[in-house]
Chains A and B, each alone.
Chain A
Amino acid sequence: MNTKTILEILVKMHQKIEEEKDFLTELDNAIADGDHGINMAKGFAVVESKLSQLQEQSIGAVLKTVGMTLVSAVGGSAGPLYGTAFMKAGMVMADKSIMDMNDFLACMKAAVDGVMMRGRSVQGEKTMLDAMIPALNAMEKANSEDLPAKAVVEAGVKAARNGVEYTKTIPATKGRASYIGERSIGHQDPGATSFTYLLDVVAKAL
């Protein structure tokens, strides 16, 4: 992947989030404050508006700009969490203009670490990490088996989807959904869901 591919993926991420905006908001409404879809769509709209200025930039610079834009435009929890994820990935890529699967997995690893640090959270708390961590593990495994890039990310999407299903079975212990405790069981986590959409966009683009 080069900068152009990354920019195309970001446009598709915005499209996907727009399509699923109401569904994400509905999911959030069931267990928390009902703004996830709205805020993500707002953030990715601002991201897309900045892409035309980034065509000549390194992948690292693009990802950092995306991260800072999400922090700034989204607010809430999704802003700092997704913002930190993209910024950490940007730091991994630095001034590189080509991203291979090892780079992509290093970015994902940095993103997971960043989200854990910023959200003071671990797996099993009904958050986006319940999709991110299984996805990362599955992709690392698939990559070690020398599968082609598309199959690697598809394995990640599959694991992320299972992670989303898993969030239905556990109560939230982090974020606003934790306030309703056991009542959050049965509902899937909106953050895990939106992460799965974004990863699926990457898989389809490969």
Chain B
Amino acid sequence: MKKFINAVGDVEKEMIQGILKVYPDKIKAIDCDGVLIRKEKNENKVAVISGGGSGHEPSFGGYVGKGMLDAVIAGAVYTSPSADHIYEAIKSVATPKGVLMIPMNYTGDIMNFEMAAEMAEMEGIKTEMVVTNDDVAVDNSLYTVGRRGVAGTVFVHKIAGAMAETGASLEEVKAVAEKANANVRTMGVAINPSTIPAAGKPGFELLDDEMEVGIGIHGEPGVRKEKLKSANEIVDMLLEKILSDLDFSGSDVAIMVNGSGGTPLMELYIINNHVHDVLLSKGITIYKTFVGNYMTSIEQEGFSLTLFKLDEQLKNLLDAPTDTPAMKV
């Protein structure tokens, strides 16, 4: 394992300290490891929070600020934060309007967020939860835990944060977050794995001409292994799956070409180039394009493609002012 780190056990803590030192005007820490909150508290809005394991930077610390998230809780790398840390975050940002929790659909995250909500309820804090599950690689059936939340989560956070900023009620913010989640689809691939610092070994192994298709964001293997293809062919494959999952025909969409952490921007632009061409040819209008590292898996070489179907309300909320370290509108 080769990484720019100090002691393995200090990775998460030193990263949080480092983020704080870049944006002292926007975010602050509380007396609880892994929690970052907005510097200025607004009592007149619903607080929107999220969290998950570390290793997805800039998710989620990079999305704390005006127009997006009020608090995030980072666990150890790829590990859900614990319920008591989530509870501390809830307490520090809770307002009379309530708290909307938007974790991604992973067993550990859901259990810890639910336990934290139970603790908050005992303190009289009103919470609701919307769970993101945009990954079309995983079949959604009664016999699985359902689809994973992946990069499309960033759109859900953007929309919910913008809605909360208008002073909307908890029910209204929850409803629009659910609508955003229902209209967002993602699928990803990887050509090189990531290594959890504490594990010291990569999450999977691939030959030089192989790729993992239907990858998650935790360095776990994908749904299947395939021979590596050209960028255009991979884009075609991902789009086929995404477009067959939700009817995007004739609609306006925002797209996200998300890097997994180790993919050069050069390649993300090559991918984006073909995504635009294909969608145009299918009569789908691209309203806004996001290219970059929004939801990473440490140093994994891979990318995911997200399509977000927009109506007028979602367009307005997507365009609403946002001032966070990693998302500015």
Contact present for B220 and A179 (CB under 8 Å): yes
Task: Please provide the chain A residues from 93 to 111 with a CB less than 8 Å away from any CB of chain B in the complex.
Answer: none
Contact present for A35 and B203 (CB under 8 Å): no
Per-residue 0/1 for B183-203: is the Cβ within 8 Å of any A Cβ (1 yes, 0 no)? 000000000000010110101
Q: Which residues of B lie under 8 Å from residue A31 when comparing CB positions?
A: 220
Contact present for A77 and B145 (CB under 8 Å): no
Decide yes or no whether A141 CB sits under 8 A from chain B: no
Decide yes or no whether A153 CB sits under 8 A from chain B: no
| A33-B143 contact, Cβ under 8 Å, with A72-B84, A176-B220, A179-B220 | no
Per-residue 0/1 for B75-100: is the Cβ within 8 Å of any A Cβ (1 yes, 0 no)? 11111111111000000000000000
Q: Which residues of B lie under 8 Å from residue A183 when comparing CB positions?
A: 221, 224
| A35-B223 contact, Cβ under 8 Å, with A71-B115, A80-B111, A174-B107 | no
Decide yes or no whether A25 CB sits under 8 A from chain B: yes
Number of interface residues of B (CB under 8 A): 38
Decide yes or no whether B161 CB sits under 8 A from chain A: no
Contact present for B108 and A79 (CB under 8 Å): yes
CB within 8 A of A81: which of B75, B111, B138, B199?
B111
Task: Please provide the chain A residues from 67 to 82 with a CB less than 8 Å away from any CB of chain B in the complex.
Answer: 68, 71-81
Contact present for B223 and A179 (CB under 8 Å): yes
CB within 8 A of A35: which of B85, B107, B196, B224?
B196
Decide yes or no whether B152 CB sits under 8 A from chain A: no
Closest to B195 in A: A34
Q: Which residues of A lie under 8 Å from residue B216 when comparing CB positions?
A: 176, 179
Task: Please provide the chain A residues from 23 to 54 with a CB less than 8 Å away from any CB of chain B in the complex.
Answer: 25, 29, 31-35, 38-39, 42
Q: How far is the CA of A79 from the CA of B112 in the complex (A)?
A: 8
Number of interface residues of A (CB under 8 A): 33
Decide yes or no whether B261 CB sits under 8 A from chain A: no
Contact present for A75 and B138 (CB under 8 Å): no
Contact present for A119 and B107 (CB under 8 Å): yes
Decide yes or no whether A180 CB sits under 8 A from chain B: yes
Decide yes or no whether A118 CB sits under 8 A from chain B: yes
CB within 8 A of A74: which of B77, B82, B220, B223?
B82
Most buried by B among A33, A42, A71, A173: A33
Contact present for B143 and A173 (CB under 8 Å): yes
Task: Please provide the chain B residues from 220 to 237 with a CB less than 8 Å away from any CB of chain A in the complex.
Answer: 220-224
CB within 8 A of A32: which of B112, B198, B220, B222?
B220
CB within 8 A of A75: which of B112, B139, B224?
B112
Task: Please provide the chain A residues from 58 to 94 with a CB less than 8 Å away from any CB of chain B in the complex.
Answer: 68, 71-81
Most buried by B among A25, A29, A68, A81: A29
Q: Which residues of B lie under 8 Å from residue A148 when comparing CB positions?
A: none
From residue A93, how far is it (CB to closest CB) to chain B in Å?
21
Q: How far is the CA of A116 from the CA of B198 in the complex (A)?
A: 29
From residue A78, how far is it (CB to closest CB) to chain B in Å?
8
CB within 8 A of A76: which of B79, B203, B224?
B79
Given A35-B77, A38-B198, A78-B108; 4 other pairs, CB 8 A cutoff:
A38-B196, A39-B79, A79-B80, A179-B138
Q: Can you list the 10 inter-chain pairs with the closest CB atoms, starting with the nearest?
A: A77-B108, A80-B111, A75-B82, A76-B79, A33-B218, A76-B108, A75-B75, A72-B84, A175-B107, A33-B78
B residues in contact (CB < 8 Å) with A? 53, 75-85, 106-108, 111-112, 115, 137-139, 143-145, 148, 196, 198-199, 201, 203, 216, 218-224
